[in-house]
Amino acid sequence: MAKKDFGEAVGKCSVCTINLWDASGGKPAIWPCNVKDCPYEDAEHQHAHHGVVHGSPFGSGLGQIEF
């Protein structure tokens, strides 16, 4: 997959040092960083990826393969 062009880096986050991009209005383009007290991410949205369900709830063999 080709890399996405977020334009020019216009700075870094003071907490996690992730790049801030001009294409995203001077904010990070990649989420979530999950660093406590991030000024660009709400606390309730941190670690939202933990609720993503992987695989089938019916026990498909292919759904149970962990990468």
pLDDT at 22: 93
Round to whole Å and give the CA distance between 37 and 4: 27
Q: What is the mean pLDDT of residues 43-64?
A: 69
Round to whole Å and give the CA distance between 28 and 22: 9
Residue 1 has pLDDT above 60, yes or no: no
Round to whole Å and give the CA distance between 12 and 22: 12
Q: Which of 27, 25, 46 lies closest to 37 in space, CA to CA?
A: 46
3-state helix, strand, coil in the chain (%, to 5): 20, 10, 70
* Overall pTM > 0.85: no
Each residue's pLDDT tens digit, 22-43: 998 998 888 768 788 888 888 7
pLDDT tier, 47 (very low <50, low <70, confident <90, very high otherwise)? confident
